[in-house]
Structures are given as C-alpha cells and as structure tokens.
Amino acid sequence: MPTESPITPLARALAREASAVAGTPDAAAALEPPANAEFGDLATNVAMTLAKAAKRNPREIADDLVTRLPDADGLAGYIASAEVAGPGFINLTLSPRWFADAARAIAEAGDDYGRGQADPPERILIEFVSANPTGPPHVGHARQAAYGDSLARILDYSGHAVTREFYVNDWGRQMELFGASVAARYGQLLGLATEVPEDGYQGDYVRGIAERLREEVGDDYADRVDPPDAEALAVFALRGKDLMLAEMTAVLARFRVRFDDFFSETTLHEGGMVARGLEALIASGDAYEHEGALWFRTTDYGDEKDRVLRRSDGSTTYLAADVAYHLDKAGRGDARLLDVLGADHHGYIARLRAVIAAGGHDPDMLEVPIVQLVSLVEGGEAKKMSKRAGTLVTLSDLIDDIGVDAARFFLVQRSHETAFDLDLDVARAEGNENPVYYVQYAHARIAGILAQQPGAPADAGPPDALDPAERALLLTLAGWPEAVHEAERRRSPHRVAAYLMDLARDFHAFYHRCRVVGEAPAVMALRLDLLRATRQVIATGLGLVGVEAPDRM
RNA sequence: GCGCCAGUAGCUCAGUCGGAUAGAGCGUCGGUCUACGAAACCGAAGGUCACAGGUUCGAAUCCUGUCUGGCGCGCCA
C-alpha cells in the first residue's frame, strides 16, 4: 500500500483548524521545514494566505490558531510548541513521539513510501532516444537515454501505465547510404577495392558490421558489390540495420535502459499508413498542393510556416512519416504521448502538435520534453567531438570510461532544460569527489550497521529528547513523497537526484553525531527506524534513476 | 531578424504553485578516526541571483525591456 508523508496528516489537521479560525471554507496550508532550523521543525504561512479572504490581520489569525493546535484532532501529542513569528508565520516544534511514530511508519512502508501519487494515473507512451540505426549512440543519446529511462521509471512508480518506445528511422536515403557503406567495407574484407561513398558512413564501426555480416553470408555477395547491384544493397542495408540495432539495444541494456517496442518507419511506408495519413490531411483541408508539392498547413496550428509533406518529385518527407507515426500513436488509447527530443529538434514541436490537432486530438496530449546538449570536459578543456574525425564519444565509450552508475547519475543530476558540461575527471574519480559515491556510500554504511543489529527493541516508546541531526534526517525523509511527486509532475528526474544528495548529507551528519548500537532502548529504536527508512528511500531513489544501491563498496 | 533554453559562489549546478539570513558537490584554508565504514564529518573564506524597471506585506522565483551564451529557423533527417 502506498504511504504518504507523515507530515501530510498534520497539514490536513492544520488546514481544518485554520479554516475554522478564519471562517473560510478552504485553507491552502503549506507546512514545511523552515529555512532556518532554529525556527522549529515545521512552519506554515497559512495565516498570511487566509488573511485576505478573512479580512483579518494575519498575526491575529495566527495567534488564535496556535492556541487551538496542541489539542486539535490529529495533532494532540505531536505538538511540543507552536509560536507566531514575523508577519504571521507559525512555527511548530514536534514532539519526540511524532518523530518516533513517523520513523516507524516510513521504515515499515518500505518501497511503497512515496509510490502511486500520480493524480490522475494515466496511460502514457514515452518515446525516447530513437537514434538513427546507422551508427552507435553517442553522449547526447546517453543523456536522452538516462533522462527518458529515469522519467519512465518515475512515471511508472507514480502509478502511470507506461510504454517505452524507440522509433527506428530505417527508411530513405540515409539507409541506402548506410547499405552502400556496409557493402563497401564488406568488399574490402574480400580484398576488393570498394570505397565507402563520399557522403557515406566512414566510421570504423561500419567495418565491424561488415565483418559480422560476412560471418552470416560468407562470400556469397563477392561478385555483387563492385559495382553493387540494387538487390545486394538492399540486403546490406537491411541486415546492417538489424545488426546495428541489435548492438544499440545491447549497449542501452548495459546502460540499464530498456524499451517495450521498436517501431519501424519502414512499416509505415510499406503498410500504406503514410499514404493514408496524407490523404486524411487532404480530406480535412489541412494539406494542399503548391508548386507540385504537398504542403501541411501547420500555420493553422501555430507553426511559423507550412511544411512540405510530399516533394515535387513525388517522394515523401520525414514529416510525412511522422504524421503517420503520430496519428498511429495518438490512436492507441494512451492519454498522453511524450516525445523526448534533443535541443536541435525543438523547432519540430509545433509540427508535431499540428499533427495531433489535425488528427482531431487534443494537442495537449502531446508533451515534448527537450533535452539540452551535454558537452564533455577533460583536463579543464572541452573535449572536441566530431563525427567526421571519428572522435565522437559513444555511449559505450562513456560507460567503459566512467561506469554506468556515475554516467547515469551525472547525466540525470542536472535539469534536462539546462545545457551542461560533464567533467570526465570528476566522473571518473572513484573517491570522495564523485557525488554518486556520496549517496551510495550512505547506503552501504547503513547496510553495514543493520547487518550487525538485526532488530529494534519492541515497545520502547519515544525517547525523551532528540538530537538536531535526528530531526533534520527525519524531516528530509518526510519530504521524499513530495520530491517524487514533483519529479513526476515536472517530468524532472533531476529532482530525485538532488533529493538523494540532500538525504545523504543529512544521513552522514546524523551518523557522526548519533550512535545507534548500545544506546538506551527508546533511543536505539528510533535510530534503527531512521536507518531502515533512510536505507529504503536511498535504494528506491537510486533505483528510479537507474543507479545501483550497493551494500558494500 | 524570429523562436526555444539558459545566465545564481573560483568551477559544475540545485533552488521555478512568490516566503524568514539564497544552497549543494568540487576547489581553497583550518580541524576530527582507541566505540556502528574517514568514499565521512565539523568550521572558515567565497554571492550587485546578468542589467534596468514594474507588480506587493514580501521577488532568484511573476510581468516588461535590454545585454550575453547555446540551439533552431531546408521540397535534410
């Protein structure tokens, strides 16, 4: 069963009392730890937000409220003190009993603490990475993969029904070029003087593809690649693509990224869906002929200019396939479509929304999170990456270099809306300068203690007093459901990473101030619950961003 | 020129339904291991939140304008 934050019941009780005092039906009560811990455990601005509606001085409302709170339903026994401060803030200090009850509740909720908060739960189709199957995924794809996969995990954890899809651009001129490039490398393996086309794929990985292809077909195509015939090229393109895609899937799996579906663009063309999509747009008046080409009237939906669907030579554009693809996606029964795109595709958003709208759907069902660029820094300088020069850093290279945990944590730690520099020297470090170990170390430390101390004393009751570090740690633990909820609502996995850094910091501070083993039963019981709760939340949180939570390091 | 994203500590970045003295990691300086893991902790230095106006009890946060940076603006994908 999903379990809410232990602060939530307090907030509900507070809102009820505040409404009663102010005489207003609904009180919006923010109840959160204050900026400065000296003010108490929790603070609320409810008196100030109610002041206008109630036409009363906020301090006056606050004064009335603090006299009622300690005895109110749901609060009795939990409020150690309530004071009015500043313009009308109410500062609360909570009793040891509340901390003990809260720690126990979180510890016992296990992996369900923070789960299932989607409001409302929806069927969501998330498409991400969708790298061209003509080459290995690079660092930019790595960021999109880390973002998309983490987001999918968070959406799923929050109660949405998530499908993860990879759109395969396996059609058109680029595939022909890829086939020709593979064919040329295959010819070279047989000692022929075949050359990769000028505008083809020059990367070394094409040799690898050709080698594996040769293992499949042997020398059967020896006399058909110099010069190549059309049928041979088609075979090289198709099999090359399959091999490339298999390799891509394997690397992504290594990166702990999985997909439910791989949707082939070719099936849209061969199945007639592209043609039917264009006909539908013509029928609805959303497409028109001009100078021999077919245009999509995307300006009707807010785009800057209309876009070509079918060129004057009769061939269809990339957009035509995307019309078919998005009409298909929109008709599958999902409430929401998420297209995760790179920053260089942001100009495409208006077009995609136009497709959805022209298909008779609510354009707001489509969300397009844009993942900004990531650049690599090494030795204090930007690492130059060039596809042509072969200095592109692939996802595989990145994993080999800094490891999956560091790569995923770094890539998801920053907001997807911000371009950032990934410092390889820091990410590579296995020591204290690497943030991912800061979080993992907290988990391993707790595992070590709990391994020696199996159970808490039963019925120990709350301790007489609390250490400030205990208060801070529990209040941060109480913030976990809100952190996940925010990550889900804002499509921002980096909120989870930021939360984990905060939690790890509070735990390490707690650890240094508070011993667990050998303390009085009531103290030890609370601290063991804090350890169990912290360990669980770290494990859950790291799991949501695809990072392991080791028991030993 | 138009559009999207950004501009917060020496560096990389959090902070975005407006709240009290703006935070973290790294880096710098100084401390802490004879009790549960020092990959840790404690303390210090370090900020005109790009700039200028506006909204209000209150603005890093909302509005307007300016400047700077990244990306985009094809009958390419």
User: A379-391, pLDDT tens digit by residue?
Assistant: 777 777 666 555 6
Q: Is the pLDDT at A90 greater than 80, yes or no?
A: yes
Distance separating alpha carbons of residues A338 and A359, to the nearest angstrom: 17
Percent of the residues in chain A that have a pLDDT greater than 90, as a whole number: 69
* Residue-level pLDDT at A538: 96
Whole-number distance in Å between A88 CA and B44 C1': 34
Strand A307-310 relative to strand A293-296, pairing? antiparallel
A8/A381: higher pLDDT: A8
* Residue-level pLDDT at A391: 62
* Residue-level pLDDT at A430: 64
* Residue-level pLDDT at A389: 56
Distance separating alpha carbons of residues A538 and A283, to the nearest angstrom: 54
* Residue-level pLDDT at A483: 93
Q: Is the pLDDT at A496 greater than 80, yes or no?
A: yes
**Cβ distance A322 to A355 under 8 Å?**
yes
The per-residue pLDDT for range A447-456, each reduced to its tens digit, is 999 988 766 6
Q: Which of A408, A479, A468, A461 is nearest to A98 (CA)?
A: A461
Which residue is closest to B3 in terms of CA–C1' distance?
A: A347
**Cβ distance A213 to A239 under 8 Å?**
yes
Instruction: Tell me the nt nearest to A32, Cα to C1'.
Output: B19
Whole-number distance in Å between A443 CA and B29 C1': 30
* Residue-level pLDDT at A358: 94
As a whole number, mean pLDDT of residues A101-110 equals: 94
Which residue is closest to B21 in terms of CA–C1' distance?
A: A36
Whole-number distance in Å between A87 CA and B56 C1': 14
A335 three-class SS: coil
Distance separating alpha carbons of residues A10 and A42, to the nearest angstrom: 10
Distance separating alpha carbons of residues A418 and A433, to the nearest angstrom: 22
End-to-end CA distance of chain A: 32
* Residue-level pLDDT at A456: 63
Look at chain A and count its residues: 553
Q: Is the pLDDT at A315 greater than 70, yes or no?
A: yes
- Residue A400 contacts by C-beta under 8 Å, 6 or more apart in sequence? none
Whole-number distance in Å between A449 CA and B39 C1': 16
Query: Which secondary-structure segment (H or E) carries A337?
Result: strand A336-339
Instruction: Tell me the nt nearest to A35, Cα to C1'.
Output: B20
Mean pLDDT estimate for chain A: 90
List domains and CATH numbers for chain A.
Answer: 7-94 (3.30.1360.70), 173-243 (no CATH), 435-544 (1.10.730.10)
As a whole number, mean pLDDT of residues A95-100 equals: 95
Which residue is closest to B25 in terms of CA–C1' distance?
A: A435
Q: Is the pLDDT at A373 greater than 80, yes or no?
A: yes
Instruction: Tell me the nt nearest to A307, Cα to C1'.
Output: B75
Q: Is the pLDDT at A318 greater than 80, yes or no?
A: yes
Distance separating alpha carbons of residues A545 and A411, to the nearest angstrom: 10
Peptide bond into A227 cis (omega under 30): yes
Whole-number distance in Å between A31 CA and B60 C1': 22
Cα A455–A460–A464 angle (5° rounding)? 125
* Residue-level pLDDT at A382: 76
The per-residue pLDDT for range A468-489, each reduced to its tens digit, is 999 999 999 999 999 999 999 9
As a whole number, mean pLDDT of residues A118-144 equals: 94
Which residue is closest to B6 in terms of CA–C1' distance?
A: A418
Distance separating alpha carbons of residues A272 and A305, to the nearest angstrom: 27
Instruction: Tell me the nt nearest to A293, Cα to C1'.
Output: B75
Whole-number distance in Å between A518 CA and B62 C1': 53
**Strand B nucleotides below 7 A of a protein CB?**
2-7, 11-17, 19-27, 35-42, 57, 69-77
* Residue-level pLDDT at A455: 65
As a whole number, mean pLDDT of residues A121-138 equals: 94
The per-residue pLDDT for range A389-424, each reduced to its tens digit, is 556 689 999 999 889 999 999 999 999 998 888 888
Instruction: Tell me the nt nearest to A420, Cα to C1'.
Output: B12
Percent of the residues in chain A that have a pLDDT greater than 70, as a whole number: 95
The per-residue pLDDT for range A338-363, each reduced to its tens digit, is 999 999 998 899 999 999 999 999 98
Instruction: Tell me the nt nearest to A490, Cα to C1'.
Output: B16
> Does ipTM come in above 0.90?
yes
**Cβ distance A551 to A466 under 8 Å?**
no
Which amino acid is it at A189?
A: L
Instruction: Tell me the nt nearest to A553, Cα to C1'.
Output: B39
A59-63, A124-128, A420-424 — most confident range: A124-128
Q: Which of A98, A131, A524, A193 is nearest to A340 (CA)?
A: A131
Whole-number distance in Å between A522 CA and B74 C1': 72
Distance separating alpha carbons of residues A24 and A17, to the nearest angstrom: 10
Instruction: Tell me the nt nearest to A453, Cα to C1'.
Output: B36
H-helix segments, A223-263: 230-254
In eight-state DSSP terms, residue A61 is: H
Strand A123-127 relative to strand A161-168, pairing? parallel
In eight-state DSSP terms, residue A286 is: S
Q: Where residue A192 falls among pLDDT bands split at 50, 70, 90?
A: very high
Q: Where residue A433 falls among pLDDT bands split at 50, 70, 90?
A: low
Distance separating alpha carbons of residues A487 and A369, to the nearest angstrom: 13
A116 three-class SS: coil
Strands (E), A394-502: 420-423
**Cβ distance A409 to A435 under 8 Å?**
yes
Which residue is closest to B19 in terms of CA–C1' distance?
A: A45
Q: Is the pLDDT at A242 greater than 60, yes or no?
A: yes
Q: Which two tokens stand for residue A549?
A: 């939570």
Which residue is closest to B33 in terms of CA–C1' distance?
A: A512
Distance separating alpha carbons of residues A22 and A25, to the nearest angstrom: 9
As a whole number, mean pLDDT of residues A309-338 equals: 95
Q: Where residue A18 falls among pLDDT bands split at 50, 70, 90?
A: confident
